[in-house]
Amino acid sequence: MKITRISVWQVDLPLGEGSFTWSGGVLDAFDSTLVRIETDGDVIGWGESCPLGPTYLPAYAEGVRAGIAHIAPYLIGEVATSVTTLNLKMDSILRGHPYVKSALDMACWDILGKTSGLPVSTLLGGGDATSVPLYRAISKDTAERMASRVTEYRSQGYSRFQLKVGGDPNVDIQRIFSVAEVLSPGETLIADANGGWLKHQAARVAGAIHELDVYLEQPCRGWDECLSIRRRTRLPFILDESIDGVDALLRGHTDSAMDMVNIKVSKLGGLTRAARARDLSVEMGLGLIIEDTCGGDIATAAVAHLAQSTPESNLFASTDLNGYVTRRLADGAPRREGGEMRASNAPGLGVEPRLDELGLPLLEIS
């Protein structure tokens, strides 16, 4: 089943709460790229890649589309279901830039599932889970408003909360304490700095909150800085931005640098490599957060399939990316049910994009 055409759309995904603030800036909409891959067997696959602005990782929205325009001509005529071979092919055409390749890889998994008659979650390992626990990210704000968000999100079924910090340590300490005070028994809090603290700031925060029941996620940008904080705190430790592939996971295991890792699909280059990193993390006995940088219905579907095929003993949480945005682009996408979501049982990703909503593609290559 060979690739005959690749089409690309740019879509804006407005945020339901107006804006989202984290240590890297403020966003009021996500700039996402959708990809459709057509084959000579009349099977079509869909993928999505949506960086969290240009300051989060070495990735940006326009770069997704420019990179796909460069790679796509070389993929015409390739076998769509040979995902490992296609990843090697993409690497030979464009070195690095995993976020560019993610949507293409995702679309090929969609095709593989449809061709085999199986949901992608089954192809990625199956598992006994029937749903995926979700966390809710709380945008940076005053300590009082961030605490009030917990009550709001709790009413929607969430019991896991990721608090965005990574600025003034005095303010962040107040934020963490204020939110911790309103948690109910059984609820979980993550303080996620997204690498926003310098080492001395992270050390102050970690020292101030050391008696709280809270996870500390990616306090500093650099590996050595994070490892320094890890070695001076008793708090359970999560690495996210630092985990960009298998090499980082192996180094983390050697250094005992983390208790849990955040696997983002596009950060690693698509489902193929994200699943590889997931499986290695399971063998290392790590907890897992499975998600993506951001996105809409298609990215959420891919995340749900990868998360639902992860052993329940290792899976800490995932996130309903499409729960943060107001625009619906596909039928069949997972939706939050209480504090959980479920991957589709239909073959492939189980989503059917609304072409009337997408309009004409920005780019077509055949």
Question: Cα–Cα distances in Å, from 61 out to 52, 55, 193?
Answer: 8, 11, 23
Beta pairing class for 3-14 and 363-365: antiparallel
Task: Give the other-Cβ count within 10 Å of 296's Cβ.
Answer: 26
Q: Which of 101, 140, 264, 267 is catalytic?
A: 264
Q: For the stretch 72-85, what's the b/e string if a residue is b when 16 or more beta carbons lie within 10 angstroms of its beta carbon? A: beebeeeebbebee
Whole-number Å distance between alpha carbons of 73 and 6: 8
Contacts of 287 (CB under 8 A, 6+ apart): 238, 259, 260, 261, 314, 315, 316
Beta partners for residue 317, in sequence order:
289
Check if the beta carbon of residue 250 is closer than 8 Å to that of residue 262: no
DSSP helix/strand/coil, 95:
coil
Tell how far CA 158 is from the center of its chain. Answer: 18
Task: Give the other-Cβ count within 10 Å of 220's Cβ.
Answer: 24
Amino acid at position 121, single letter: S
Concatenated DSSP letters of 290-320: EE-SS--HHHHHHHHHHHHTS-TTTEEEE--
Check if the beta carbon of residue 308 is closer than 8 Å to that of residue 342: yes
Contacts of 292 (CB under 8 A, 6+ apart): 50, 264, 265, 266, 267, 299, 302, 303, 321
Task: Give the other-Cβ count within 10 Å of 164's Cβ.
Answer: 25
Q: What CA dihedral angle connects 87, 263, 301 and 163, to 10 degrees?
A: -150
Active site residue 2: no
Active site residue 264: yes
Q: Which of 101, 114, 140, 164 is catalytic?
A: 164
Contacts of 265 (CB under 8 A, 6+ apart): 102, 106, 271, 274, 291, 292, 299, 302, 303, 306
Q: Which residues are the active-site residues?
A: 164, 264
